[in-house]
Amino acid sequence: MLRVRLDGGRVHAKQGSMVAYRGRVEFAYQGGGVGGFLRRAVTGEGQDLMRATGHGTVWFAESGHHITILTLDRDSLTTNGRSLLALESSLRYKATTTSGGIGAMVAGGLFNTEISGTGGVAVLCVGSPLVLSTDEPVCVDRDAAVAWTSGVRTRVVSTFRLGNLVGRRSGELAQVEFSGRGGFVVVQCGETPAVGSTTEGH
């Protein structure tokens, strides 16, 4: 769990992630507007946040996932929208997309959140995360990428032929390539599929 102490301040967190609180705390929904509604309707990848304000302690969690806190110092970071749990109110955030044109659509939309400024960001991970340098290009399954340095270049790549479509879930058809000197990508040891994705049973 993530424990946040509020002393008259506020914190932004994933909608519905509060599991307990103590003290005088108020919660307010922060929607993404009409554009956000259309994006969710198309991709199923919600990034809506709520705002917690007041005096007290709040605990956040989601489905027993591990939580990793990344600290920004006048820097920027991009997170997979589904992996973002909470961020300090001193940080700025906006929705972005991974480049790749029609390939990005095949890979599932890939709507992300770019966070910048100074403060802490809490992200959800399946197990303990792996941090990989992007000095040399590295390809990551779209459902395993948690966060990455905003300055790195991203593009959707595919290593499967048409004949491999049969019997494979859509998440395996394309990966995201990350590249850029001095950058990194955080990878979880499992996949968190987008809302609406299914895993084929065997």
Rounded Cα gap, residues 54 and 67, in angstroms: 23
In 3D space, the residue among 149, 132, 151, 152 whose CA is nearest the CA of residue 141 turns out to be: 132
Chain position carrying tokens 């109110």? 89
Q: CB 78: neighbour CB atoms within 10 A?
A: 22
In 3D space, the residue among 129, 202, 135, 140 whose CA is nearest the CA of residue 168 turns out to be: 202
For residue range 99-126, what is the model confidence (pLDDT) as tens digits? 544 444 444 445 688 899 999 999 999 9
Q: Residue 156 phi/psi, 5° resolution?
A: -85, 130
Rounded Cα gap, residues 159 and 185, in angstroms: 20
Cβ atoms of 123 and 81 closer than 8 Å: no
How much is the pLDDT for 57?
98
How much is the pLDDT for 91?
94
How much is the pLDDT for 172?
58
How much is the pLDDT for 191?
66
For residue range 70-94, what is the model confidence (pLDDT) as tens digits? 999 999 999 887 899 999 999 998 8
Q: Residue 142 phi/psi, 5° resolution?
A: -60, -30
Mark the ranges of the chain whose per-residue pLDDT is less than 70: 30-47, 97-111, 159-173, 191-202
In 3D space, the residue among 15, 182, 200, 176 whose CA is nearest the CA of residue 104 turns out to be: 176
- Name the pairing type of β-strands 84-88 and 145-149: unpaired
